Structure 1
Amino acid sequence: MRSPVAPALLGLILGCIANAAILPAIPQAEFPACDDLETEQMANFAVDHINAKNNHGYKFALNRIEMVKVLPRRPFGKVAFIELDLLETECHVSNPLPAENCTIRPQTQHAVEGDCNVKLLIVDGGYKMLSSHCHSTPDSVEDIRNLCPDCPTLSRLDDPKLKEAADSGLAKFNAENVDGTHYQLLELSRGLSTHMPLGTHVEFAIAATNCSREQVQDPAEHCQVVTGEHARNGFCKSSVIQLPPVPVPDGAPKPPAEDVTVDCTLYDHQAGDSHFLEHYMHHLGKNIPSPGIGRRVLDLIHSHNDTHASHESHSAEVPAVAAAKPVVKRAVDLAVPVTGILPPVCPGRIRHFKI
């Protein structure tokens, strides 16, 4: 007797084949080479966006593309997931100089690395940032000591000596600047300490107020930061070096106990680039010269959600889609070595140095 199971099983198999024929194909991920020109173009767009949204610390530059994956997106376009390795530059975020023209901070000045995961929408040859997740960390003290035993190391940004050094440097600048404007401290961005000679070195952001040098009282609480078309901000580097005691005759004036030097660069208002001052105007009432409490660097995390704990940048709200530049495909050398194994196409090359 013929078993009824066989026809039923055959019908089930035919049904599965028919259903499989009408089901949409599973989207296939693409894994472009990390050093492909199109991948670099997406990475550069992401770095520009990260720098544009950063309200604290320094601009970053691309050092290495770690990974890239591209998926189809319905009903149109593609989504790219990219892991980036960045390096801190010497340009503060208030500096109008493009990041690609800024000097990478050398390892001997305690370099800082940024790690970012970004998600881009690709539509009609243009890019739009969907999200970004960044975190930055300084090179380890041990690595600095091995590289340069006498190099200074980073101080914590909430070290009172940094604020004192910034105040001393700013007071000297306010007393000597040629336009007679009183400038106010906005942010302590970086601090270093040295032992030979004993000193404190600090970098900080400043902004012009509506007070002149002659109008300022101590404290200058009535002075307000100028915004709008007359806004002017700047960035300073100041050092306070402790001088060795010098014996003096009785009645003679005592020499200064410390030597204060300061060098400030001022930036005129840049049209369409006021987010830095606007951000600090929002926070000035809290009297916080730096959000880096307990930190040695101003983490890129602060650029995404106004110093809150969230790492996510919901930049999909930005209406504009940046147009991609024409892409010239780079030929990838896939010559098979003796082992018969293809060389990896990710991570990509290191552009500066690896921390």
Structure 2
Amino acid sequence: MRSPVAPALLGLILGFCIANAAVLLDLLQTEFPACDDPETERMADFAVNHINAKNNHGYKFDINSIKMVKVLPRRPFGKVAFLELNLLETKCHVSNPLPVENCTIRPPTEHAVEGDCDVKLLIVDEGYKVLSSHCHSSEDSVEDVRRLCPDCPILSRLDDSKLKETANSGLAKFNAENVDGIHYQLLELSRGFSTHLPLGTHVEFAIAATNCSRQQAQDPAEHCHVVTDEHARNGFCKASVIHLPPVPVVDGEPKPPAEEVTLDCTLYDHQAGGSHFLEHYMHHLGKNIPSPGTGRRVLDLIHSHNDTHASHESHSAEVPAVVAAKPVVKRAVDLTVPISGIPPPVCPGRIRHFKI
């Protein structure tokens, strides 16, 4: 009598072979475009625009280099691209409607910040869709900044009380002088540092208009909150408080040390994209000023986004789709498959700005 084990074993072997044949076929169809190919750069630009649109804190980031890209077939249609990106912080806050390609990269002498992102991108006939993205960022080391520029200031911790005091002084000056008479509120403290010559503190922070006038904000009974409707307006400020040395008077008694507050603010109206940022910001955080985090010098680009194909399509209007994707040139198979005569992928790509 024939044992039932043999057919079952044969079925397992056939199933194993079929499954591994599909895996091998995918490996053989894996494409490794060059990191500096125009099509790879188009995918990377789309991914960075998505990351910046989803980020509600700190500054916009731009591409410094493309570290890796590979493209796999996707059943029943399309392809999936995996990208590793190295990003650099710009001087544009995320509330700034200026396109990232028009933003200035923050130089190393300003204690530069870099980010690293892994992005999974769906390539379909009509363009690209981001399926997932995972990012984090960190500032350059103090040693590297000192090596490059011994006298350049080092970023202070965001929970430093001097930074908050300087931001409040700058905001008070803005609220007292702004011509529209609207009371503005501090949204977040983004960067700051102290100097010794002259002795002072310098900060950058985001603000937003509230539902209160300047006069109403003086009344403790008023409950002022940020507005996100058609009257929404937000902005970004740089403030400095310089501590002036005491000046002796005629009788020889010195005056108490004086302070000089300087301020530079830019406002963005909702037509330019301000309300879009505020709606996202308030949706995630409510009406509370976010804690900057103990011991941190920068607001981390903590970005973790996962979406199914269907759910991402329902939100795809947040990040405009690019024009139809061009075919990605097939360069090589996965290097884990030992096939001789295949050139390795041309990655990582060029450094566009600087290495930190």
Same fold (TM over 0.5): yes
Structure 1 unaligned residues grouped into runs of 5+? 1-11, 305-310, 333-339
Residue equivalent to 1:181:
182
Where does residue 322 of structure 1 map in the other structure? 321
**Preserved CA contact (<8 Å) 1:78 1:121:** yes
Contact 2:97 2:272 in 1 (8 A): no
Number of aligned residue pairs: 325
Structure-1 residue corresponding to 2:48: 47
TM-score, structure 1 as length reference: 0.82
* Structure 2 match to 1:38: 39
Question: Does the CA-based 8 Å contact 1:227-1:277 persist in structure 2?
Answer: yes
Cα offsets for 1:303-339 (capped at 9, x unmatched): x3xxxxxx34447532138243565989x9xxxxxxx
Percent pairwise identity: 76
Q: Relative to structure 2, which stretch is displaced further, 112-121 or 274-283?
A: 274-283
Seen in structure 2, the aligned counterparts of structure 1 residues 201 and 272 have a Cα distance that, compared at 3 Å, is closer
Given the superposition, is the C-alpha separation of residues 277 and 220 from structure 1 closer, same or farther in structure 2, using an over 3 Å criterion? farther
Helix, strand or coil at the partner of 1:26: helix
Distance 2:56 2:198 in 1: 33
Aligned partner of residue 218 in structure 2, secondary structure: coil
Q: Aligned letter for 2:323?
A: A
Question: 1:185 touches 1:289 (CA, 8 Å); kept in 2?
Answer: no
Task: Give the letter for the 1:318 counterpart.
Answer: H
- 2:335 match: none
Match of 1:208 in 2: 209
Query: 1:61 is matched with which residue?
Result: 62
Deviation at 1:274, TM superposition (A): 3.2
Distance change >3 Å, CA 23–CA 354, structure 1 → 2: closer
Q: How does 1:138-157 map to 2 (within 5 A)?
A: 138-157=139-158
Matched letter for residue 27 of structure 1: D
Amino acid at match of 1:230: H
What is the TM-score of this pair, normalised by structure 2?
Answer: 0.82
Q: Which amino acid aligns with 1:155?
A: S
Deviation at 1:82, TM superposition (A): 0.4
Tell me the alpha carbon deviations over residues 247-280 of structure 1, each in whole angstroms, 9 at most, x when there is no partner: 2245999465211111100000037763431244
Which residue does 1:26 correspond to in 2? 25
The 10-residue stretch of structure 1 (320-329 or 227-236) with the greater mean CA deviation from structure 2 = 320-329
Counterpart-to-counterpart distance in 1, 2:137 and 2:308: 19
What is the rounded CA distance, in whole Å, between the counterparts of 1:128 and 1:342 in structure 2? 29
Q: Greater relative contact order (Cα 8 A, min sep 6): structure 1 or 2?
A: 2
Secondary structure of the residue aligned to 2:25 is: coil
8 Å Cα contact 1:36/1:329 also seen in 2: no
- Letter matched to residue 275 of structure 2: S
Structure 1 position 106, deviation (Å): 0.8
**Where do 1:323-342 residues align within 5 Å?**
323-324=322-323, 327=326
- Tell me the residue number matched to 2:5: none
3-state SS of the aligned residue for 1:27?
Answer: helix
What residue in structure 2 maps to residue 245 of structure 1?
246
| CA-CA distance at 1:223 after TM superposition | 1.7
Matched to 2:224, the amino acid is C
Indicate the residue corresponding to 2:83 in structure 1: 82
SS of 2:193's equivalent in the other structure is: strand
The answer to whether the aligner puts 1:165 opposite 2:166 as a matched pair is yes
Q: Partner amino acid for 1:354?
A: K
Q: Which amino acid aligns with 1:50?
A: I
Gapped regions of structure 2 (runs ≥ 5): 1-9, 332-340
Structure 1 residue 136 corresponds to structure 2 residue 130? no
**Matched position secondary structure for 1:229:** coil
Question: C-alpha separation between the residues in 2 aligned to 1:246 and 1:237?
Answer: 27
Check the 8 A contact 2:125/2:324 in 1, yes or no: no
1:234 aligned onto 2:235: yes
The Cα offsets for residues 286-309 of structure 1, whole Å up to 9 and x where unpaired, read as: 4x34444431111110xx3xxxxx
Partners of 1:281 and 1:342 in 2: CA distance? 50
Q: CA deviation at 1:246?
A: 1.7
User: Which residue pairs with 1:257 in the alignment?
Assistant: 258
8 Å contact from structure 1 (residues 34, 345) kept in 2: yes
- 1:268 alignment counterpart: 269
Q: CA deviation at 1:284?
A: 4.8
Quickly say closer, same or farther: Cα 1:77–1:327, change in 2 above 3 A: closer
